[in-house]
Amino acid sequence: VRSRQGLAYSVYGVWSVRYDYPGLFIAGGQTRSETTVPFIKSVLDEIQKLRTSPISSEELAKAKESVLNSFVFNFQKPEQTLSRLMRYEYYGYPEDFIFRYQKGVTATTIDDIQRVAEKYLKPDQIVTVVVGNASQIEPALTSLSQDVTVLDITIPKPKNS
């Protein structure tokens, strides 16, 4: 979406999990108004690819390395460590949760990714949020779906006193 198609300044995807509910998969990015619709289509295509085509062993290795190497940054400051330990205690996580988590990441397979993507990435439940100037988005968002809700969040100009 970003590198090959040049449709985004930035693009991302993250599974935001929580202990007490399954969480959300969030994908997004920043693009120009005139590339909004192609950007959304490309992101949706990538999500569909995750559901239907196995990732490569290189992609899995890079993802594992990224998760495992960045995990330490969750414990950089004493307050981060304390906050996590309190959360783990509150929700009843096992004492060795951090080590189980790391082992789980290490043990993740391409089949695991495929199975989870098929089960949890549900194209029919995707909600798309676009922030921008609707008059500059061409083609219009209605070219993706007729179910478009527009909210005007224009900041009013101050009244002269």
d(CA 29, CA 43) in angstroms, rounded, equals 9
pLDDT tens-digit map of 41-71: 999 999 999 999 999 999 999 999 999 999 8
- Tell me the pLDDT band of 37, cut-offs 50, 70 and 90: very high
Q: Which two tokens stand for residue 6?
A: 């040049």
> 1 or 89, which is more confident?
89
- Tell me the pLDDT band of 6, cut-offs 50, 70 and 90: low
Q: Residue 116: left (phi > 0), alpha (psi -120 to 50), or beta?
A: alpha
- Residue located via tokens 């993802």: 63
Structural domain boundaries in the chain: 10-143
Task: Give percent of the chain with pLDDT exceeding 70.
Answer: 96
Q: Which two tokens stand for residue 43?
A: 């992101």
Q: Which CATH superfamily is domain 10-143 in?
A: Metalloenzyme, LuxS/M16 peptidase-like (3.30.830.10)
Mapped to the 3 state alphabet, what secondary structure does the chain carry? CCCCCCCCCEEEEEEEEECCEEEEEEEEEECCHHHHHHHHHHHHHHHHHHHHCCCCHHHHHHHHHHHHHHHHHHHCCHHHHHHHHHHHHHHCCCCCHHHHHHHHHHHCCHHHHHHHHHHHCCHHHCCCCCCCCHHHCCCCHHHCCCCCCCCCCCCCCCCCC
pTM score, whole prediction: 0.77
